[in-house]
Structure formats: structure tokens, C-alpha cells
Copies of this chain bind each other. A is one copy, B any other.
Amino acid sequence: MELELVTIGTELLLGFTVDTNSAFLGQALGEIGVRIARRTSVPDQPDAVASAVREALGRTRLVITTGGLGPTKDDLSKNVVAELFGLPLEFHEEIWEAIRARFARMGRTLSERNRCQAEVPRGATVLPNPRGTAPGLWIQGELGEVIMLPGVPGEMRGLVTQEVAPRLRQRAGGRVVRSLLLRTTAIAESTLAERLEPVEARLAPLTLAYLPDLDGVDLRLTAWESEPGTAASLLEAAAGQLREQVPEHAYGLGEEDLASVLLREYRTRGLRLAVAESCTGGLLGARLTAIPGSSDVFVGGVIAYDDEVKRELGVPERILQAHGAVSEETVRAMALAVRDRFKAPVALAVSGIAGPAGGSEEKPVGLVWFAVADAAGCETFRMVFPGSRHDIRTRAAQYALWRGWRRVLASATRL
């Protein structure tokens, strides 16, 4: 089952508002088996709204609109759609009373402008909106059906959850669109695609999408139009097969964060972790401490940004002199020093050139050295990351987490 979405608002097209409503609707409808076939955004102009809604009805006969139900003069969606369906607007006393009561409760003055929010196209179903003044409307006619929702995110969400989804679920008849995200890191998209090829060829009817970002490549598996139970088991089985192709890179499912995966592995083993950060400047610590309950694993660390702090931490002056702050020797000394100072079983250190300035031919912007130290010793890694200062730092924090995670899993295998 599919429908089209028309989002109405000049501010959406000017880019003053990021359209988070569409993402919410996509997920909420997908979960009950309704697919958004197309989304159109138009400004608050009668002609633009009318043509977008008419065209969308022509394709799917079922359309959800958001926005344009407010009390100001650029809120004209309702009038446009009523005219499209040839329906007169009727004043509903009980809606007006609800609006008045709401304003009274908040101690606000009601304006005559709000009266238009109590007008309803003849025969439309009124969807109560306790979070705001404008109710949702479900309009039916020869052209099909239009479900009109307010654009205020909290109001729209409440109406979808309480009024729209329950009604649509019955019609969609149980078949759903479900997705599952498998998260990978520290592997290039093209290499990943090669490694996954044998499994990918056998995935149908599931589809696979590659979603690269700074933390790695997320793989989205989607089951289209399937039974809810079947969808879940198909997705899990497929995710398992993909995971086996890249076990060292596939770290989690769904919204799972690598920091949280790392913390769980450490916690299981009773290990604790300290960090010494130069170019990431606190980002690695921030990633770890963003996770609730991180304090039982994460000890803390040193932001060794200036060489003065590196020296104070215990990096020997001769190493800084001979090799520089961004070097294998320095990052190893940082990891060992922070491990010993804070008596942590495992320590991670990062030192690199985040740019935009500070690069040279020998040490380009993007060069980052990593060290992971534990009781067994210290491993170092060299990477050159592309992108801006922000990109390089984000990638470096993620890579450090990845190395910290792999080190502990590898040690487990070794011992």
C-alpha cells in the first residue's frame, strides 16, 4: 500500500526549517506497511498546493499533507483542498469551543483569526489534536483521499500515532516495510561491496543499500511488503550473513554506537579504559561518556593538546624532538604513559594533523597515529583520513574506538 506526501511551507523551500516531519512519517508509515511513493514540498501558494495535491492524488489516490493549517493568512491548505474536492467549508461550534478552552487554559487571548481553524470541509472526518489548535482532517471525494495534518512536529506526530496510523494499519492489511541497519566501520565502501557480493546476490526479496558517512558505511536491509514476523526473521538472518563476511568491521545493528559496543565488551571482561588525545582534543572521551553508564569502564584521560601537556604526561622530550608530536613514537609513549598513570588495563592514544594548516609533504593533513596499549604491549596504526578538520577528527575518534574494540576481541582469541 502506498501514498504520497505533500509538505506545505515556504520556509521548507527557503531552507529555514529542516524537514524532520518527513523522516518521522516515513518511519511511522513504513512500520505499518504503508510506503511513501513520493514526497513533494511546495510553498504556501494556492496554485502550488493545488497542483501538487491534484497530481499526487492522480498517482496514488491517497495523500497526506502537512502544514498550512494555522491561523495566519499564508495558511491556506484547507481552503485549497476543499476547493479541489468541491466541498464548502462549515463552521464547527465544538471545535471552536475546544480552541477557546485551550487558550483560556494557557491564559492567552483568542483572536478572531483563529475562527477559521474551526472550519471543516463538508463531510470530512475531524481528527482531534489536543496538542494544538488546528485539528487534523480526513477528506474523501471522487479524487481520492487527503489526510491533512498540521506542520508543528509535536502536533503532527501525535495525530499520526493516535489517529492516522491506527486507521491506515487496518487497510494496509498487515504487510509492512521493515528495515534493519547493519553498521560497519574502517572499510571502504567499494571493498565492502566486494566482500558482500556473494551474500548480496542471494538477498532477494530483501534489498540492500549502502549508506556511507564519517563513522563508516551503514548497510540498510529492507524487507518490502512482507508479513511482520517474516520480515523480522528474514532481516535478522540476512544481517547475520552479511556480518560473517566482515566480522571485524560490522560492529552493530540499528542505532548502536561503536562506543557502546566497545564499552559492553570491556565491561564483560572487567576491563577499564583510559585515553590520551591530541588532535581529537576530547572527542574520543566525549564519544565514550555520551553512553549512559560509561563510568564503570571509562576512567578518563588527558587531552594532551599542547606538547607541554604531552611532556607532563610523560612523553620524553627526546622523542618529541626527534620524531615530532605526530609520530608513532609519540603516540606509543602517550598510550603507555596514560595506561600507567591511571592504572588502566587498556589505553588508547591519538595524535594527528587535523588541519586545515600544519601539514607537510612528509606529514600531510589527515595523517593520524593511533596506539592501543594493554598488559601485553602496544600496537600502533597509521591512517590518512580525507576531508575537513571536522571530518578528520570524527573519523579519527571512530577509528580509535574501532582499534580499542578489536584489540580486546583479538586478545580474547589469543589468550
Q: Once bound together, how far apart are the Cα atoms of A344 and B55, in whole Å?
A: 62
User: Judging by beta carbons under 8 Å apart, are B389 and A193 in contact?
Assistant: no
Residues on B with beta carbons closer than 8 Å to the beta carbon of A52: 38
Segment at the interface with B among A13-21, A78-86, A231-239, A368-376: A13-21
User: Judging by beta carbons under 8 Å apart, are B106 and A17 in contact?
Assistant: no
Residues on B with beta carbons closer than 8 Å to the beta carbon of A199: none
Can you tell how many copies of this chain the complex includes?
2
- Once A309-B342, A387-B154 are accepted as A-B contacts, the answer to whether A301 and B300 lie under 8 Å apart by CB is no
Residues on B with beta carbons closer than 8 Å to the beta carbon of A179: 14, 16
Q: Which of A279, A286, A312 has the largest number of chain B CB atoms within 10 A?
A: A286
User: Judging by beta carbons under 8 Å apart, are B15 and A27 in contact?
Assistant: yes
26 contacts between A and B (CB under 8 A): A13-B26, A13-B37, A14-B30, A15-B23, A16-B211, A16-B222, A18-B20, A18-B22, A37-B48, A72-B209, A105-B386, A131-B387, A154-B387, A277-B282, A281-B285, A282-B287, A282-B301, A285-B303, A286-B393, A292-B389, A295-B306, A301-B302, A302-B302, A306-B342, A308-B343, A312-B341
Kindly list 8 other residue pairs between chains A and B, CB separation below 8 angstroms, not including A295-B305, A298-B305.
A13-B39, A39-B41, A106-B384, A108-B190, A282-B288, A286-B286, A300-B309, A301-B303
Which A residues are closer than 8 A to B by beta carbons? 10-20, 22-28, 30, 35-44, 48, 52, 55, 70-72, 74, 102-103, 105-111, 113-114, 131, 152, 154, 177, 179, 181, 188-191, 193-194, 207, 209-213, 220, 222, 275, 277, 279-290, 292-295, 298-306, 308-309, 312, 341-343, 354-357, 384-391, 393
